[in-house]
């Protein structure tokens, strides 16, 4: 695969479509494309609202970057109540369906401005973890591009646009890193297509925007988590093969660390932790502004595994400094 010369053309055309321009003239009859879009939407509705998905262990490439490793292992072992299975509720059905619609509409747009859809929903296996790529397209130069299509509210979209790429707050970076590795696409031909759900603005964010050291850090983490998950057989593995995520440090408006009355750091559970009571010892308290919050006092290890427990304050500080 050669240089990325076609990317600007793709972005230009798609961005024009999402900006309500009237400058586009189509030299193709795209009725068939519209029928394909309708079929994709129907299939999404059937998948989410008609076919009942069986409960299954949650480990997918779409969640590998976000979900803490210790939670994934605990779910596999059944140590978190109903944590080892995946059940679709109404909120998730809505989220998944809207995501499917944006994906289908993006493919419709790409086809009607002349790009060839080579593949959609390809099943990939990466180190024993499965996933489905959104699309592979071919541009006018005959080069293929791997696309992952996402939608977000205005705040998150703006954050990602400023940075030039999505991080792993929602697992998006790890997901596409693994897809690219599994399919052989280099970083110059691997992109996120991001839609702003508030105003229909879109942006193409290439993997080449991601700092190499950060990408490698997330990739190594994914390898370790996948390996630990596949090898995990009993409770001891949970506490010897992985660690709970470091807690966040509470800060004031100037960015200074907030201390409690004993002079200790005030730590709290990061948002990606779904079961903080499993990972941490917690105590109720209040923020500097009087808002109730559950604070982390230590990692929650069974006594027989305490020798493997890291220092919670040290881990929080290292993480805050970007050294983990």
Q: Where are the domains of the chain?
A: 6-219, 244-320
Query: Model pTM?
Result: 0.76
Q: 158-193: per-residue pLDDT in tens?
A: 999 999 999 888 899 999 999 999 999 999 999 999
More confident residue, 38 or 280: 280
Q: How far apart are the first and last CA of the chain?
A: 34
Predicted confidence band at 1 (pLDDT cuts at 50, 70, 90)? very low
CB-count exposure of residue 28 (10 Å: 0-12, 13-18, 19+): exposed
The Cα 152–Cα 202 span in angstroms is 10
The pLDDT tens digits of the residues spanning 139-150 come to: 878 889 999 999
Express each pLDDT in 93-103 by its tens digit. Answer: 777 777 888 88
Which of 5-9, 37-41, 286-290, 298-302 shows the highest mean pLDDT? 298-302
Level-2 CATH architecture, domain 6-219: Alpha-Beta Complex (3.90)
The mean-pLDDT minimum among 53-62, 110-119, 179-188, 282-291 falls in 53-62
């Amino acid at each position: 695969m050669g240089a990325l010369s076609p990317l600007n053309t793709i972005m230009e055309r798609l961005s024009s479509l999402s900006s309500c321009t009237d400058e586009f003239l189509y030299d193709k009859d795209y009725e068939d494309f519209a029928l394909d879009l309708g079929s994709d939407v129907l299939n999404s509705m059937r998948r989410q609202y008609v076919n009942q998905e069986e409960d299954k262990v949650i480990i997918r490439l779409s969640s590998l970057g976000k979900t803490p490793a210790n939670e994934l292992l605990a779910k596999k072992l059944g140590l978190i109540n109903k944590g080892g299975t995946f059940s679709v509720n109404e909120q998730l059905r809505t989220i998944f369906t809207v995501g499917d619609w944006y994906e289908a509409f993006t493919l419709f747009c790409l086809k009607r401005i002349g790009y060839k859809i080579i593949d959609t929903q390809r099943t990939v296996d990466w180190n024993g973890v499965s996933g489905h790529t959104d699309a592979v397209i071919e541009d006018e130069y005959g080069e293929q591009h791997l696309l992952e299509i996402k939608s977000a509210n205005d705040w998150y979209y703006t954050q990602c646009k400023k940075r030039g790429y999505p991080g792993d707050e929602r697992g998006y970076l790890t997901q596409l890193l693994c897809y690219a590795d599994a399919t052989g696409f280099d970083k110059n031909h691997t992109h996120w297509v991001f839609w702003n759900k508030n105003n229909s603005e879109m942006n193409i964010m290439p993997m080449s925007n991601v700092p190499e050291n950060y990408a490698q850090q997330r990739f190594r983490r994914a390898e370790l988590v996948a390996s630990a998950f596949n090898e995990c057989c009993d409770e001891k593995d949970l506490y010897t093969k992985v660690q709970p995520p470091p807690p966040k440090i509470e800060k004031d408006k100037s960015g200074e660390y907030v201390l409690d009355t004993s002079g200790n750091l005030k730590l709290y559970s990061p948002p990606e932790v779904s079961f903080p009571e499993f990972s941490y010892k917690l105590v109720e308290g209040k923020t500097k502004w009087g808002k109730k919050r559950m604070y982390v006092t230590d990692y929650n290890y069974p006594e027989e595994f305490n020798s493997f427990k890291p220092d919670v304050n040290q881990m929080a500080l290292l993480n805050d400094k970007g050294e983990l």
